[in-house]
Amino acid sequence: MIKVVAPMAGITDAEFLNKVIPYGFDVATLGGYSLDQPTIDASRKIIERGRNEFDFSLDEIFSHIESEVNSIKKVHSNVKVSANVRATTPRPLIKAGNIKNLDIIEINCHCRQDEIVAIGCGQEMLNRQDLADFISEVVDNVDSEVSVKIRANVEGIDTLAIAHLIEDAGADYLHIDAMKKGVFEADWELLTEICNNVDIKVIGNNSVNSRENLEKMIDTGVDGFSIARSVISGNLDFDISNF
């Protein structure tokens, strides 16, 4: 089972990840980071209205990620480091995916903040006609593995069809926030359906906040799981190390 710290903008930096990796994680995700001027401008608007975001200019973001990766590798050399990133075109993602020692570049098709969606990024990526080409271009040009993080049950989007598209585009991981509107647990049925129908490695995410939900997540057939909110306190009150 692959155990992943999920990205949280403004929170999951190297210092935070170094503290929580010892709970038993195999992959630590930095970011989300914005990698081009439109996404950086969107992030700044989000910050202006008081929400947490990382704030780096184009001049500093790539060297910043490299230094964060090395800060983790220095302490936890066996952990894979991933960076969750947004950009309007593949090129900045390719540049990030070739950062030395970065193991996984994660394309953010998940963020639902208005400022990011308005420029066609985050979950709006799921509506792009050229999404498959976008992902393939990244896959074909980076040294790292490629993960695509999506949100499930986005209105008007067939999540299973998107899972097939991401697999066919050559990504290594489908990281899926199986959020279901109106309930406080992941959409276990949808995750099971996806795991039964794709061969790509599936990292299930959402509501892994107790041993009970962790077992429900594992029962869906995922190859791994990720946790965001429950690691914030740095005090996971259920043991993930036996899975």
Ligand X SMILES: Cc1cc2nc3c(=O)[nH]c(=O)nc-3n(C[C@H](O)[C@H](O)[C@H](O)COP(=O)(O)O)c2cc1C
Binding stretches for ligand X (CB under 6 A)? 6-9, 11, 31-32, 52, 84, 108, 110-111, 149, 177, 205-208, 227-230
Smallest distance from ligand X to CB 129, Å: 22
Comparing CB distances to ligand X, the nearer of 6 and 61 is 6
Nearer to ligand X, 57 or 74 (CB): 57
Pick 74 or 184: Cβ nearer ligand X: 184
Cα atoms in the Cβ-side hemisphere of radius 13 Å centred on 28: 32
Please report how close the Cβ of residue 238 comes to ligand X at its closest, in angstroms: 12
Residue 194 or 227 having the CB closest to ligand X: 227
**In the complex, least distance from residue 54 CB atom to ligand X, rounded to whole angstroms:** 8
The residue among 19 and 74 lying less far from ligand X, judged by its C-beta, is: 19
CB of 51 to ligand X, least distance (A): 8
- Minimal distance in Å, beta carbon 163 to ligand X? 16
The per-residue b/e assignment along 193-219, b for 16 or more CB within 10 angstroms, e otherwise, is bbbeebebbbbbbbbbbeeebbebbee
79 versus 148: smaller Cβ distance to ligand X: 148
**Among 113, 23, 31, CA closest to 65:** 31
CB 177 to ligand X: min, Å: 4
Least distance CB 31 / ligand X (angstroms): 6
Q: How far apart are CA 173 and CA 2, in angstroms?
A: 11
Measure the CA dihedral 150/152/154/160, to 10°: 90
- Cβ proximity to ligand X, 30 vs 77, nearer residue: 30
For ligand X, which residue has the nearest CB? 32
Phi, psi of 4 (to 5 degrees): -120, 135
Contact in structure between 109 and 126 (CB atoms under 8 Å)? yes
